Amino acid sequence: MVSENPFAEFRLECQNSLEGSLQKLFSETQITRLSLERPPNPEFGQLASSLCFELAKQLNENPLTLAKRLVEALNKSKFSLIEHVDAAGGGYINFHVDFPKFSSITIESVRHLDIEYGLVKTDKPLKIIVEHTSANPLHPMHIGQARNPMLGDAIAQLLKSRGHNVYRHFYVDDVGRQSAVLAYGYKKLGRPKPDEKPDHFLGKIYTITSCLIEIKRLKRELERAKAVSATEEIPNLNKELDDWMSAAAELKEKHPNLFEELLERITEDEDPEKKINELNKAYEAGHERAKQLIRGVSELCLQGLKQTLNRAEVSYDSWDWESELAWTSRVQTVLEKLKKTPYVFPLGGILEFDAEKAVQQFDLKKKLGLRESYEVPSLTLIRADGTTLYPTRDIAYTLWKFERAEKVINVIGMEQKLAQLHLKIALHALGYGNYADNLIHFAYNLVSLPGYTMSSRTGRYIKFDEVMDEAVKRAYEEVSKRSPQLSEEQKQEIANFVGMGAVRYALVEVDPSKPVVFTWDRVLNFETNSAPYIQYSHARACSILRKAARKPEKPAYNLLKEKLEHEIILTISSFPDIFIEAAELLKPNLIADFANVLADKFNTFYNALPVIKAKPQGLSDARLALVDAVRIVLRNTLNLIGIVAPERM
């Protein structure tokens, strides 16, 4: 018998047996929920039901007495995976699995299904767009942003493995003031060719240009405040100016020649801010010169971002340009439709969307998970100069995505919670409530480095490229120390997949709602809870199978009686359940956690029990088959989160 979900088979048998017993004894009694939980101690079985406590309240009887009656009434002739059932603990019903039979089914199912084991397919496959990363083409990706592609790629892989048709999209955010700032600085330098990785080069230009313009703006604001004696504003402006002057000093020290050249060129313009606003407006309107400049510099930066993502083995099916939406009638069409609703109103030259009014009209508070007392702020759709804002364009982009998919998942930081909320409310206002219901904001928390504050605007960040370089370098040192006999080529190969896997695992294994504190001691830990540790466990399983130099021909699964063996069998049997939960709830961290738990149990088993030299031969074969099953499940879990499962380390 081959089962795609062995533990679910056992659970279903327990459930059916209990339902039959209930029907026999208490057919008139209504039970709201028949749940089965895993007991904290394996001595109490592998599944347990507490329904007798609920039943006792209805029947006014002792829970333990009811449990004994239900156990007695079970149809034991239908037991297949159940070894025995007992009543215990004041009213619990405990189900004990038949380990010889269950071990055989679990291990043989894993080995037979191999690469497909655990990846249970959905009955309702959907077309799903996972939009992730979508980093602004302004500067290199830094470690704070890198969690996005790691999570987005893992989510896409989970959903694809679940049987959905998944499309990975990158939204190139090339419209807006930031892109115009970079293009302005780049043009001032005479549109130079990069002498390094293009995103690194352009990141310096963007940061310095932004800094110089902010300083100029703040000085002008300070003069105005002093002229009108705005005493409350002056201290805040001084503080902000000091911060930017400090950033400028850092940038001048890091990039003296580029800083001086940009300072000289930008000083030529009396009002750089005006030039930038004109460029931004011209680009959104599709003027040819602005298009050539901003699209050109955006594509140049994107070349560098693609190199980074390719190295991290993150790929996309579609690169969607925000500008192309702006240059069509899509954004304008959305605006015209919104204007016809009762939720849009002019306010001092700008156009506002009354989100709270729409929420009240459609009774959305509960559906959107909002407190009744919370009032949703309004959303600005158009600025006074006629340019649209990012959220306005995002409405049009979302409608475009739903023309191609039934579900859309936006992998965006939790700081964008309000913007994503506005997006859903706007869809309801436009009559696309079904789209809003199938739009998911996959929110994630920040990445922090102890003692280091990151800021893209001021150039205070650690590039993701640098992190990958450092990870591979540190992995190489560790591999050289542990395996000095390897050739230089082997050491480098191992260092690459260990270093890259370590970074990816560190950014995925933490619950998305919690921040990641990135420290090298934890990321490259070969002893526990890291990609290198799990990779090493997989390689160890492969090594055992190589050393055995034989296939387990006649495994005697009835001889697998050790507690450690039973724990591993139960763990690998539950992988399909973990996978389903991770895919349905979009929690790739569950896969990472599972892989670490299995690696822990396997390493304890390896250190405690002989495999190849176990006697008799049937036991050795059974343990070899168990090791093979562990290898397969570890590989499948690592594949799901984009990490190499090596055969040697």
The CA–CA distances, whole Å, from 530 to 522, 536, 638 equal: 7, 10, 11
pLDDT in tens, 482-538: 889 999 999 999 999 999 999 999 999 999 999 998 888 878 877 778 899 999 999
Over the chain, what is the mean pLDDT? 94
What does the pLDDT read at residue 4?
A: 96
pLDDT of residue 525: 79
Angle at 366 between CA 361 and CA 371, to 5 degrees: 100
Burial class (CB in 10 A: 0-12, 13-18, 19+), 1: exposed
pLDDT > 90 fraction of the chain, expressed in percent and rounded: 87
Question: Which class for 256: exposed (0-12), middle (13-18), buried (19 or more C-beta within 10 A)?
Answer: exposed
Fold equal for 6-97 and 464-640: no
How many C-alpha atoms does 528 have within 13 Å on its Cβ side? Answer: 4
Q: Round to whole Å and give the CA distance between 621 and 636.
A: 23
**pLDDT at position 376:** 97
Mean predicted confidence (pLDDT) in 200-214: 96
> Beta partners for 129?
167, 408
Q: Work out the pLDDT band at 27, boundaries 50, 70, 90.
A: confident
| CATH, range 464-640 | 1.10.730.10
Domain boundaries, the chain: 6-97, 177-311, 464-640
Encoding tokens for residue 280?
């931004």
CATH of domain 6-97: 3.30.1360.70
pLDDT at position 89 is 87
Residue 456 has what pLDDT?
Answer: 66
Torsion sign, CA atoms 249, 254, 257, 259: negative
Q: Per mean pLDDT, which range of 290-299, 328-337, 443-452 is the poorest?
A: 443-452
Question: Do 81 and 7 meet the contact criterion of CB atoms below 8 Å apart?
Answer: no
Q: Tens digits of per-residue pLDDT, 119-165?
A: 999 999 999 999 999 999 999 999 989 999 999 999 999 999 999 99
What are 207's two structure tokens? 């940061």
Contact indicator for 422, 145 with CB cutoff of 8 Å: no
Amino acid at 540: R
So what's the pLDDT on residue 457? 65
Higher pLDDT, 231 or 203: 203
Residue 317 pLDDT > 80, yes or no? yes
Beta bridge partners of residue 232, listed in sequence order: none
Each residue of 335-358: pLDDT tens digit? 999 999 999 999 988 999 999 999
CB 47 within 8 A of CB 36: yes
Tens of pLDDT along 318-336? 999 999 999 999 999 999 9
- pLDDT, tens only, 550-560: 999 899 999 99
The pLDDT > 70 percentage for the chain reads 99
- Are the CB atoms for 32 and 143 separated by under 8 Å? no
Q: Which two tokens stand for residue 151?
A: 């999570």
Mean per-residue pLDDT, 28-48: 88
Grade residue 227 by pLDDT with cuts at 50, 70 and 90: confident
d(CA 510, CA 238): 40
User: For residues 349 and 177, what is the distance between their CA atoms, to the nearest angstrom?
Assistant: 19
Question: Which helix (H) or strand (E) is 17 found in, with range?
Answer: helix 6-25
pLDDT confidence bin for 450, thresholds 50/70/90: confident
Is the pLDDT score of 113 beyond 90? Answer: yes
Largest Cα–Cα distance of the chain, in whole Å?
A: 95
Q: pLDDT tens digit string along 624-642?
A: 999 999 999 999 999 999 9
Sequence length of the chain is 649
